[in-house]
């Protein structure tokens, strides 16, 4: 079950080239970080992929310089980005190499950055804050990308929340 605040799903767009959203999940920080980073396949929608083959896994290699990619059912791999920072269980930063048309761009200078921070709360839950910044680096398609991820990231965090809540009926809210 997901309990959303009045402005649920409305990301912060104060800086035109940055999208921020957050969610509180009723699991400890270690669990939240683990499910987000090591179990992404369990909550990432299979429809959100760029490869030609159906996606069977979304993978983040757990180290700085590791790959963030999808694995197709035919064994193909499509790179989405690179792990820029790896600080379990508090922070994960990834480069985003997909343009506004969700095509892979290998040039690191034309990538943006996704920072995910995990904050332990006094009640044992975790606040997960996601900031996707530097969108202007994607060139002419960056505004189209911002439009897509402005609704996409909150939806993905809700999917993540549903996964960590499982069948326990735990509450979460997106802000």
Band the pLDDT of 10: cuts 50, 70, 90.
Answer: low
Does position 3 have pLDDT exceeding 50, yes or no? no
Give the H/E segment covering residue 143: helix 142-165
Q: What is the pLDDT of residues 84-121, one digit of tens each?
A: 999 999 999 999 999 999 999 999 999 999 999 999 99
Does position 174 have pLDDT exceeding 70, yes or no? no
**In 19-127, which ranges are continuous DSSP H helix?**
29-38
Mean pLDDT (the chain) is 89
Residue 135 main-chain phi, psi, to 5 deg: -60, -30
Does position 168 have pLDDT exceeding 90, yes or no? no
Short-list 33, 25, 43, 35, CA closest to 173: 25
Does position 5 have pLDDT exceeding 50, yes or no? no
* Claim: this prediction has a pTM higher than 0.85: yes
**What CA–CA distance (Å, rounded) separates 71 from 150?**
25
Which percentage of the chain shows pLDDT scores above 90? Answer: 85
Q: What is the pLDDT of residues 45-89, one digit of tens each?
A: 999 999 999 999 999 999 999 999 999 999 999 999 999 999 999
Domains within the chain, CATH numbers bracketed: 19-45+87-174 (3.30.530.20)
Does position 36 have pLDDT exceeding 90, yes or no? yes
Band the pLDDT of 152: cuts 50, 70, 90.
Answer: very high
Query: Span 126-136, mean pLDDT?
Result: 97
Does position 173 have pLDDT exceeding 60, yes or no? no
Two tokens, residue 97: 């190499």
- On the CB side of 80, CA atoms within 13 Å amount to 20
């Amino acid at each position: 079950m997901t309990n959303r605040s009045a402005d649920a799903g409305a990301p912060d767009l104060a800086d035109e080239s940055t999208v921020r959203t957050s969610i509180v999940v009723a699991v400890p920080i270690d669990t939240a970080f683990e499910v987000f980073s090591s179990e992404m396949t369990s909550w990432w929608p299979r429809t959100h992929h760029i490869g030609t083959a159906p996606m069977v896994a979304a993978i983040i290699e757990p180290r700085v310089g590791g790959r963030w990619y999808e694995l197709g059912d035919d064994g193909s791999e499509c790179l989405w980005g690179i792990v820029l920072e790896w600080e379990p269980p508090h922070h994960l930063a990834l480069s985003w190499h997909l343009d506004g048309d969700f095509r892979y761009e290998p040039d690191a200078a034309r990538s943006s950055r996704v920072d995910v921070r995990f904050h332990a709360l006094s009640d044992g839950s975790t606040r997960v804050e996601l900031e996707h910044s530097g969108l202007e680096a994607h060139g002419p398609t960056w505004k189209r990308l911002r439009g897509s991820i402005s609704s996409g990231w909150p939806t993905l965090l809700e999917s993540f929340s549903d996964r960590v809540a499982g069948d326990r009926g735990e509450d979460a809210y997106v802000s």
